[in-house]
Structure 1
């Protein structure tokens, strides 16, 4: 089951790889990376999902992993509780396969991890120099 929220994205094509941030909420996709913005829609059915994402350049920088900056990417994949994988192609670059892995990011209001005991510092346990 797909979880709504913000995901860290790692993606690749034969031309290279990159990272970005994607937000999935109520069937809508938005996000981006250092040079491209992403927008579109998704549908989830159990552990399977499909997405249609459009990209647009918002800043100068490295070239797109597809060639063209503005394109429409069709994706399908498998979602788990906090991650999912997908693959697809862009209509504008059909010969360039695309793969992505998305990992759910905990919300800012998530409770902090339980405190762990701090070990007591004991200088006697430090390694001794060989020249002593």
Structure 2
């Protein structure tokens, strides 16, 4: 499927219109076997979790409710520059002496 559309944001509320089109044979969508759909979506996103309700103009009466959760990649670890200092076991902390 390919998807294209537009959205409008007003505070933490959003609306969107998304058109879908099948480019390869495959499974039916949640709306059935329609190969081309126009989805009208309304939702809110007060943080990193958005909830929405969508309807398809081609399938009257069917409603899709969903939740989207933003995932973020962990920051990249910077590459080491220069050499690491030589290991010196004498610099390790000493354990307390135990009495027997």
TM-score (norm 2): 0.67
Separation in 1, partners of 2:23, 2:68:
22
Q: CA RMSD in A?
A: 1.8
2:11 maps to what in 1?
A: 46
1:59 maps to what in 2?
A: 24
Paired residues for 1:9-88 under 5 Å: 36-67=1-32, 68-88=34-54
Structure 1 unmatched runs, 5+: 1-35, 114-132
1:94 maps to what in 2?
A: 60
> 1:112: Cα distance to partner?
5.2
Larger Rg: 2
> 1:81: Cα distance to partner?
2.0
1:7 maps to what in 2?
A: none
> 1:57: Cα distance to partner?
0.8
Separation in 1, partners of 2:47, 2:18:
22
Q: Which has the higher contact order (CA 8 A, sep 6+)?
A: 1
More strand by share: 1
Separation in 2, partners of 1:70, 1:77:
22
SS at match of 2:62: strand
SS at match of 2:19: strand
Tell me how many residue pairs correspond in the alignment: 76
